[in-house]
Amino acid sequence: MRVSIIGGGVVGCSIAFELQRLGFEASVLEKNGAVGHGSTSASCGIVRRFYSQPDMVAMANEGAHIWADWEKFVGPIEDEKIVFHRPGMLFIPPHIDDEVSRIVAGMQQMGIAASILTADQVAQRFPFLETDSFFPPRQPDDDAFFEPTGRRIEGAVFEEDAGYVVSPDLATQNLRSAAEREGARFLLRREVSAIRKVGTGPFRVVTAQGDSIESEVVVNAAGPHSSIVNRMAGVALPLEIRPLRREVHTLDNPLFSKQEESALPVVGDLDSGVYCRPESRGRNLVVGSTDPHCDQLEWVDDPDDFNESVTEPYWERQCLRLMKRFSQVRLGPKRGVSALYDVTVADWYPVVDRTDLPGYYVCIGTSGSSFKTAPVLGLMMANLIESCQNGHDPDQQPYQLTLPYTGATVDMAFLSRRRSQLQSTGTVIG
C-alpha cells in the first residue's frame, strides 16, 4: 500500500522507516533540499523522561533506549552517526509536591534511575548551581527580578542517564538513510500545495513543482505547517494546533577547561524559567525557556512569515535567568536561533491519530518536546496505519502498542484527536 508522508523532519523520516519495515511503500515529500532542516534543525535534542502523563514517560523511556542503541536501531547505513551524551538531568520544579513524587515513583517503577534530591544534595553534587529559589520567574524589568526571595529550592529531581543527542538533523539523515535502504522514496524540494481525493479512490498529493503523487494513505508530518496541510485536506481537528515562536541562545560554558565540564548536567529549571545543556563538546551552553506565566507566548499566524532573528529582550531575559541559577555564566555576544514549535494549545501533547477523512492521518502538535520520542512516534503511526487500514477503528477501541525495547504497553487514546484536555504543565515540560 502506498503512503505519502508530508514533511521530512525527524517525525516524517521515522514514520517512513517504520512503514517500510511493515511492508508499505512510503514516499516522503519535503519542501526543503534536505531532510531535518525544518524545526528539527533547531532542536536541543534533550532526552529526558520526566512528564506528567505516565504513557509519555513510557514513550520517552523507549526513546532513550533507542537513542542509546542507535547503530543497531537504524541498521547498516554509511552516514556518520549521532552521538548521545548522557550527563544526567537535574529538574528543578517550583515545589516538590505530591505530583512530582507521583511522577518520580512512576519513573522508578519503570526502572528509570530517577530520585528526588534535597537542596543540600543539589549543592553538594553541583556546587556551581545556586540553590536559592527564584520562583515565580519574572521579567528582567520587574523591580523584584534581582531581589533575593529568602527561600531555597525545595529540592530537585535527578535523572541519572538523561542527556542529549548531538545534531538532530544528523539523526534525521540517519533515519532517511535507513528508510531508503528499506525502499522508501524521498522527494526533496517538493512543496505540497493540494491534497485531492475523489470518492473512494486514492489521494492525489499535488506539489507546487507540478508533481501529482497517488497514494492510498496520506500522513501529515509537516511540523509547524501541520494546520496548513490539514486545511489542504479539508480536515478540521477538535484540538487547536498552532505554531509558536521560540528562541534558544548560546553562551560560553564557564566550566569548560576547568575539568568540571563532565559534571554539568542538563538542567530543566521551572523555578527560574529556563532549561540549559552543554553544547560543542562542553565549550558552550544552550539555554531555552520553560514558558513561565510572566512571558507572553508568541503565537505565529503564518509559519512562513515570522521573525527569524534573535531579539534583544528574549536573549536578555533568558540569559539573565540562567545567570541567577548559574552565577559563573557571563553575557557574551548575542548568539542563538529562532524557530517554531507546533503546539497542541490545550495540553502540549502530540496528536497521533487517524482523522475523519479515511486514509488521512496526523502526527502533529509535537509541542517542542518530541525529538526524543520521534522514533517512537514513527512506530506508533506506522502500526496505527496498518491496523486502521485493516479495518480497526481506534475511535471505538483505542490502539494499544507494546514498545519493543522496554516492553511497556501504551494506550494510544491519550494522543487521539478526540481526547479531552490532558493533565499537563501546559508548557514544553508536558
Ligand X SMILES: Cc1cc2nc3c(=O)[nH]c(=O)nc-3n(C[C@H](O)[C@H](O)[C@H](O)COP(=O)(O)OP(=O)(O)OC[C@H]3O[C@@H](n4cnc5c(N)ncnc54)[C@H](O)[C@@H]3O)c2cc1C
Q: Shortest Cβ distance from residue 146 to ligand X (Å)? A: 27
From candidates 25, 130, 180, 191, binder to ligand X by CB under 6 A: 191
Q: Could you say which of 106, 137, 163, 223 contacts ligand X (CB under 6 A)?
A: 223
Contacts to ligand X from residues 372-411, by CB under 6 A: 372
Residue from 3, 4, 5, 8 that binds ligand X (CB under 6 A)? Answer: 8
Looking at the Cβ atoms of 133 and 366, the one nearer to ligand X is 366
Region of 118-126, 217-225, 309-317, 352-360 interacting with ligand X (CB under 6 A): 217-225
Interatomic CA distance for residues 168 and 428, integer angstroms: 18
Amino acid type, 126: F
The DSSP line for 143-206 is: TTTTS--S-B---EEEETT-EEEE-HHHHHHHHHHHHHHTT-EEEES--EEEEEE-TTS-EEEE
- The closest of 147, 158, 16 to 86, measured between CA atoms, is 158
Grid coordinates of 65: 533506549
Helix, strand, coil percentages in the chain from 3-state DSSP, rounded to 5: 30, 25, 45
CA atoms in the 13 A half-sphere facing the CB of 6: 33
The C-alpha atoms of residue 30 and residue 221 are separated, in whole angstroms, by 10
How many residues form the binding site for ligand X (CB under 6 A)? 39
- Left (φ > 0), alpha (ψ -120 to 50) or beta: where does 240 sit? beta
Of residues 342-371, which lie at the interface with ligand X (CB under 6 A)?
A: 366, 368-371
Q: Which is nearer to ligand X, 211 or 395 (CB)?
A: 211
| Shortest separation between residue 88's beta carbon and ligand X, angstroms | 15
By C-beta, is 96 or 377 nearer to ligand X? Answer: 377
* Radius of gyration from C-alpha coordinates of the chain: 21
Residue 118: CB minimum distance to ligand X, A: 27
Using CB positions, name the residue nearest to ligand X. 9
Site for ligand X in 320-339 (CB under 6 A): 339
By CB under 6 A, the residues from 12 to 51 that bind ligand X are 12, 29-32, 37-40, 42-46
Q: How far is the CB of 124 from ligand X (least distance, A)?
A: 27
Q: Phi/psi of residue 397, each to 5°?
A: -135, 100
Minimum gap (Å) between residue 244 Cβ and ligand X? 9
Per CB under 6 A, which of residues 256..315 are in contact with ligand X? 288
Q: How far apart are CA 294 and CA 6, in angstroms?
A: 36
Instruction: Give the footprint of ligand X on this chain (CB under 6 A).
Output: 6-12, 29-32, 37-40, 42-46, 191-192, 221-225, 229, 246, 248, 288, 339, 341, 366, 368-372
